[in-house]
Amino acid sequence: MRRFLLNVIFVLTIVLFLKYVHYSLEPEPSNQPDTYPNFSSLAENESPADYDISYNEKKGSKVLIMSPHGGRIEGGVSELVRYFNNEYSTYLFEGFKSQDNQTLHITSTNFDEPLAEKKIKEHQYVVAFHGYKGENKNTLVGGTDRKRAKMIVRALKRSGFSAELASTGSGLAGLNAENINNQGETGLSIQLEISREQREAFFDDFYYKNRKYTKNNEFYAYVRAIKSVLENEYS
């Protein structure tokens, strides 16, 4: 019995150590105020080598799928956005600093990177991926397109995921008119806030250099659930 307990303690220690390593290599944004109030301020003070801006044009796409917090800012969202490259237009702002990527986080109501503003205005609908610190697997689905946000929630639940509609009073609801997500032609958006625990579960190795190569079945089940709604509603 004692040996069994020691083995359990050993395994738990390893699990906690690996989780600590993951968090130290890929820390989440804190609840502290942003370092920069807008993109021009960020660009004046940060090296262009520490971040990347990318846009993938899909001719005829009514939808822009995007994240202003990709790369090492909110780990795992870049891979989710890029999954849709073949079907929809996509945009990413990604942080790649060796540390302190929190300094590259600009909240969505202040995010005014020029290419993002331009391309969002050229699309009817916006779907934005974000991350939050939650310790349980969960997705909060918000945005101004409440009808289709509810459809996303149902699709995720049918695929075995924990998901809920973000409360209109929540800071994660994505309803503010100043939110970059809501600057499209119709003003309709879907915002997915995905917990850290859920994002980690999408990959066999969460380190940013390895996520691209270690997407697992949970990742594909998740994006396919979302894709099923987009295909039916935004085609």
Residue-wise pLDDT tens digits, 123-136: 999 999 999 998 89
Q: Which pLDDT belongs to residue 70?
A: 98
How many structural domains is the chain composed of?
A: 1
Longest Cα pair distance anywhere in the chain, in angstroms?
Answer: 65
Q: Which pLDDT belongs to residue 149?
A: 98
Domain span including residue 196:
2-233
Cα dihedral sign, 147-149-150-155: positive
Helix 217-233 vs helix 146-158: angle between axes, to the nearest 10 degrees? 140
Q: Which residues, 6 or more positions from 211, have their beta carbon under 8 angstroms from its beta carbon?
A: 75, 76, 78, 79, 203, 205
Alpha-carbon distance of 38 to 44, in angstroms, equals 10
Residue 15 — very low, low, confident or very high, per pLDDT cuts 50/70/90?
very low
Q: Which pLDDT belongs to residue 26?
A: 64
Buried b (16+ CB within 10 A) or exposed e, 6-18: eeeeeeeeeeeee
Q: Which helix (H) or strand (E) holds 98?
A: none
Q: What is the pLDDT of residues 86-106, one digit of tens each?
A: 999 999 999 999 999 999 999
Distance of CA 129 to the CA centre of its chain: 3
Residue 144 — very low, low, confident or very high, per pLDDT cuts 50/70/90?
very high
CA-nearest of 58, 138, 50, 124 to 94 is 50
Q: Which pLDDT belongs to residue 169?
A: 87
CA-nearest of 159, 121, 158, 126 to 142 is 126
Q: Which pLDDT belongs to residue 10?
A: 58
When mean pLDDT is compared across 81-85, 130-134, 201-205, the lowest value belongs to 130-134
CATH number for the domain spanning 65: value is: 3.40.630.100
Q: Which residues, 6 or more positions from 141, have their beta carbon under 8 angstroms from its beta carbon?
A: 149, 150, 152, 153, 156, 163, 164, 165, 166, 190, 191, 192, 193
Three-state DSSP class for residue 36 = coil
